[in-house]
């Protein structure tokens, strides 16, 4: 789904290349390639999990056969008056070992089932979120990505804020309402709003002495907008990273624009501690 959306956007840009900058076209092409790579990685991870399930099921069958054979031997031994005490003891120890192996296998099977369920849930959440924000993604207002169980909704600052402002504009409010509607159904995750800027210094005589304060103030404005739109405030948090986590070199107006962004990160609660 992610790759198809990026590919569709790239196709539109190709057919209208006379109106679109080469840098934006290359950025979308790179995004499409990156999404394709991530999709392949997710597919490989799923196949590895399924192979592990199959391997454990085969081990379970082998252990069940061994258990049945040992149980038969133990019953036969007990029915014979001539069976030695040493053999009986050995068989009992073997039975205890088999029970321990069965217990361990059961634990591993539960852990594997939980991991598989979590993987399927993440894929389902991503697809649901992507479908809910399909139009905004297609319009280039929002970018959606997933890596190592963390989903990220990225918005350029110009969608949300006027230059130098921390007040969310009308277009940004509309986008955040759509995002909030999609986030309401997400369970078991924290939602952290992260503010980022380029490396252009703020006016030291203005309301924000540095990009730290500016990025945090914008993240807080988005948190308040999401809460007002119905997102549970107990799962919301804000962070400001200033200019220190760029996604492009601050060597051109276009790249600096990429670095000025808001990212809404969804992570598992346990992983976020």
More confident residue, 60 or 80: 60
- Indicate if 220 and 123 belong to the same structural domain: no
Burial classification of residue 158, based on how many CB atoms lie within 10 Å of its CB (0-12 exposed, 13-18 middle, 19 or more buried): middle
Chain segment 167-208, per-residue pLDDT in tens: 999 888 988 998 998 888 778 889 999 999 999 999 888 899
Q: What is the pTM of this model?
A: 0.55
Cβ-contact 174, 159 below 8 angstroms: no
The pLDDT score that the predictor gives to residue 136 is 80
Which of these ranges, 40-44, 122-126, 253-257, has the smallest mean pLDDT? 122-126
Same-domain check for residues 114 and 47: yes
**Per mean pLDDT, which range of 28-32, 123-127, 202-206, 225-229 is the poorest?**
123-127
Shared-domain flag, residues 118 and 148: no
**Cβ contact 160:175 at 8 Å:** yes
Model confidence at 236: pLDDT above 60: yes
Statement: residue 164 has pLDDT above 80: no
pLDDT (tens digit, 9 = 90+) per residue, 89-136?
A: 788 888 888 888 888 877 777 776 555 554 445 556 777 778 878 888
- Residues 125 and 154 placed together within one structural domain of the fold: no
CATH number for the domain harbouring residue 157: 3.30.1330.60
Handedness of CA 33, 152, 198, 178 (dihedral sign): positive
- Give the pLDDT confidence score for residue 120 in this predicted structure: 47
181 contacts 147 by C-beta, under 8 angstroms: no
pLDDT band at 63 (very low <50, low <70, confident <90, very high): confident
The pLDDT mean for the chain works out to 81
Distance CA 202, CA 209 (A): 6
Q: Using the 3D structure, point to which of 132, 157, 175 is the last residue of a domain.
A: 132
232-247 burial, b for 16+ CB within 10 Å, e for fewer? Answer: eeebbbbbbbbbeebe
150 C-beta neighbours (distance < 10 Å), count: 16
Number of domains in the chain: 2
Kindly state whether residues 255 and 223 are assigned to the same domain: yes
Expressed as residue numbers, the domain containing 210 is 136-272
């Amino acid at each position: 789904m992610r790759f198809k959306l990026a590919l569709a956007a790239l196709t539109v840009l190709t057919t209208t290349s006379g109106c679109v900058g080469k840098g934006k076209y290359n950025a979308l092409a790179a995004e499409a390639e990156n999404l394709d790579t991530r999709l392949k990685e997710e597919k490989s991870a799923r196949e590895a999990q399924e192979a592990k399930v199959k391997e454990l099921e085969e081990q379970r069958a082998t252990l069940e056969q061994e258990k049945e054979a040992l149980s038969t031997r133990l019953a036969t031994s007990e029915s014979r008056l001539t069976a030695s005490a040493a053999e009986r003891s050995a068989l009992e120890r073997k039975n205890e070992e088999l029970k321990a192996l069965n217990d361990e296998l059961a634990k591993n099977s539960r852990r594997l089932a939980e991991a598989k369920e979590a993987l399927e849930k993440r894929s389902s959440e991503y697809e649901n979120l992507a479908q809910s924000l399909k139009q905004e993604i297609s319009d280039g207002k929002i970018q959606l990505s997933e890596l190592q169980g963390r989903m990220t909704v990225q918005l350029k600052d110009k969608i949300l804020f006027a230059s130098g402002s921390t007040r969310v504009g009308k277009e940004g409010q509309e986008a955040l309402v759509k995002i909030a509607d999609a986030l309401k159904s997400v369970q078991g995750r924290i939602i952290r709003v992260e503010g980022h800027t380029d490396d252009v210094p703020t006016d030291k005589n203005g309301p924000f002495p540095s990009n730290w304060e500016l990025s945090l103030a914008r993240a807080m404005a988005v948190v308040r907008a999401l809460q007002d739109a119905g997102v549970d405030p107990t799962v919301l948090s804000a962070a400001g990273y200033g200019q220190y986590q760029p996604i492009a070199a601050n060597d051109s107006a276009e790249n600096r624009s990429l670095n000025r962004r808001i990212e809404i990160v969804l992570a598992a609660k346990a992983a976020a501690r």
